[in-house]
Structure 1
Amino acid sequence: MANDGARVDSISRGDEGITMSETSREITPEDVCILIPTLDEAATIGDVIDGFYAHGYTNVLVVDGDSDDATREIASERGARVHVQSGSGKGQALREAVSIVDTPYVLMLDGDGTYDPADAERMLEPLSAGYDHVIGNRFADMDDDAMKALNGFGNRMINRSFTFIHGAEYEDILSGYRAFTVDSFERLSLDSDGFTIETELAVECVKHSVKTAVVPISYSARPEDSETNLHPVRDGGTIVLALYSLAKTSNPLFYFGSLGAGGIVSGGLLAVYVLVEWLWYGIGHEILAMVSAAGILLGVQLLMFGVLSDMIVTLHREQRNHLEQITREANRED
């Protein structure tokens, strides 16, 4: 199931640094927009903004989902640009924000105080080395009370499902701490409006062969006066469904193959039941026999469609990578 076009590198805390390549670039704080989507984060947003200012990052953009508390007022008082999103949901906020960003690099994080501004340099370092997307791995240094046991289990299962379905080991696809180039972001086809945006970002990075790095970050517990907007069971199920549905275009062999296998197994079990009933008891189930045959036939057709779709997607990916390589070489010559 592996995706040959995926490129991901995991960077441990013990690494001295990232080897600079011919595509390396120098990034200064002025080149980076700190993007913070918010919804009722008055208890924490001020400290988050202050933390980035303390580390030299003064271009802070808060995209607010029409909070009912004083989030916008506090953010504005601390010196951040405040933009009220026209729609709703974190995904819509991200797409709208990137369209008004005036820097080549974006560092995105939640405004709930769980992510450390001190990790900004670590997050941006891979971009300097030529990577286009960086994911902060929360599990590398997580406070004991930062994530409930159920949430931790669900996160790990979702990460394993992502690796199995989409063929890339991103370690923490639900992390809200991301760094990316605006150019690479504009290559992605993002449709999610809600909190599944991190999942869609990870899938799109695999699908479009975006050079991705995973770096360790620290992850703290939410302050007691800050409430989460997520619901573990309901939202976890939504994410798993999103992972599966997104495989339709990134890994069609898995998507249609699993549907086809389900049809074949269901039709086969029904056929066994019909056969047993006829051999042992002399009872005929003509309608059930037709249904089982239809299920098996549909399953085989879906499997064949999955194989053909996978060949088309693979060919398309190879052609796109080749064209992008030609474009990069032409730009270097210019």
Structure 2
Amino acid sequence: MGEDGEVCVLIPTLDEAETIGDVIAGLHEAGLENVLVVDGHSTDDTVEIAANAGARVITQSGSGKGQAVREAIEQVEAEFVLMLDGDGTYVPSQADRLLEPLRAGEADHVVGNRFADMESGAMTRLNKVGNRLFNRVFRGVHGEDHGDILSGYRAFTRDSFERMHLSATGFGIETEMAVECVKRGLEVSVVPITYRARPAGSDPNLNPIADGGRILLTLYSLAKTTNPLFYFGSVGGLIFGAGLLFGGYVGVEYFTQNVSHEIIAVLATLAILLGGQLILFGFLADMLASLHRERLRRLDEIADRLEELEE
């Protein structure tokens, strides 16, 4: 599957003693020897099992998957990075599906689509609904379809990762990476993968309600740089609509009951003005964001040409 050192496999872990050994063994069988485990202060035998299985293990200085990934990348020198969870839900032998588009130069970032082949019981009904909702929101807000933005099985070039500006500390890291791919104009490929049910004795680290809320908030907050018209326009539209609603109420009351609501009328007027200004600001910000993306694209082209000349 490629020369040793070409690919570094990155596995963030937290209490994965039941599964991490089999995951690393599967990667070795697939020809991937360079395995880096970044552990989030596990309280079980995850670190010892991973080290005995032949992986290089580091303990992250902070907490959260996002922080672990960013810290681990600093230890990577390989051209390509394959990232997967250590909970046994992903199939190590399918790694080549994700790496092939990178090796062929067809993509900078590859996402494994879990919904292409999901085993029964691999995901609860609530998680399925939430994942599909997040993907639809991503398509609507950011204008691209990455298939499964929350997938933990993905591959990317180290260069493309270094071009991203990531700040998420927890499970929002996948969402933030998807948004940064859109923002930076990176080529993304989506490949089908198998998603398996967690083995017995392996407990999930994700809280579907709390983490789902954080992911949805991340999707919305990051829209201010990729789709500012939606970010400001949605808030402005709600305020503008509320102003019209209350303004209509004041008008009806005045013309039918001859009752004036001066305070409500003033508030309605202010809401209409504020909402309209936010919508207008969204249009202007969207134009600036488009110009900024074009400037980033040109700078990346110049940087690539300079690298070619240096070679």
TM-score, normalised by the number of residues in structure 1: 0.90
SS at match of 1:106: strand
CA distance in 2, matches of 1:126, 1:133: 8
Partner of 1:16: none
Partner of 1:245: 221
Partner of 1:107: 82
2:131 counterpart (155, 172, 187)? 155
Task: After TM superposition, give the deviation of residue 332 of structure 1 in Å.
Answer: 3.1
2:53 counterpart (78, 85, 89)? 78
CA distance in 2, matches of 1:253, 1:28: 46
Is the CA contact (8 Å cut-off) linking 1:260 and 1:299 kept in structure 2?
yes
2:21 counterpart (32, 40, 46)? 46
1:221-236 equivalences in 2 (<5 Å): 221-236=197-212
Deviates more, 1:233-242 or 1:116-125: 233-242
Higher RCO by CA contacts (8 Å cutoff, separation 6 or greater): 1
CA distance in 2, matches of 1:269, 1:233: 33
Corresponding pairs, count:
309
Is the CA contact (8 Å cut-off) linking 1:27 and 1:128 kept in structure 2?
no
What's the Cα RMSD here?
A: 1.2
Deviations 1:267-300 (A, max 9, x none): 1001011112212222211111111111110111
Task: After TM superposition, give the deviation of residue 306 of structure 1 in Å.
Answer: 0.7
1:1-334 equivalences in 2 (<5 Å): 27-130=2-105, 131-333=107-309, 334=311
CA distance in 1, matches of 2:299, 2:213: 38
Deviations 1:290-318 (A, max 9, x none): 11111110111111111111111101111
CA distance in 2, matches of 1:29, 1:307: 49
Amino acid at match of 1:189: H
Amino acid at match of 1:138: R
CA distance in 1, matches of 2:188, 2:2: 17
CA distance in 2, matches of 1:324, 1:96: 24
CA distance in 2, matches of 1:257, 1:27: 48
Deviates more, 1:146-155 or 1:78-87: 146-155
Partner of 1:15: none
Amino acid at match of 2:149: I
Deviations 1:185-212 (A, max 9, x none): 0110101000111000100100111111
Deviations 1:24-47 (A, max 9, x none): xx9534211110000000000000
Deviations 1:226-246 (A, max 9, x none): 000112223222211111111
Q: Percent identity?
A: 57
Deviates more, 1:61-70 or 1:281-290: 281-290
SS at match of 2:5: helix
Amino acid at match of 2:99: L
Task: After TM superposition, give the deviation of residue 330 of structure 1 in Å.
Answer: 3.8
CA distance in 1, matches of 2:156, 2:298: 22
User: Judging changes above 3 Å, is the alpha-carbon distance between structure 1 residues 317 and 116 closer, same or farther for their aligned structure 2 residues?
Assistant: same
Amino acid at match of 1:166: H
CA distance in 1, matches of 2:308, 2:76: 25
SS at match of 1:232: coil
Deviations 1:106-151 (A, max 9, x none): 1000000000101111110010121111100011111011111111
Is the CA contact (8 Å cut-off) linking 1:33 and 1:59 kept in structure 2?
yes
Deviations 1:84-103 (A, max 9, x none): 00000000000000011121
CA distance in 1, matches of 2:230, 2:223: 7
Task: After TM superposition, give the deviation of residue 329 of structure 1 in Å.
Answer: 3.2
CA distance in 2, matches of 1:98, 1:194: 16
TM-score, normalised by the number of residues in structure 2: 0.97
Amino acid at match of 1:179: A
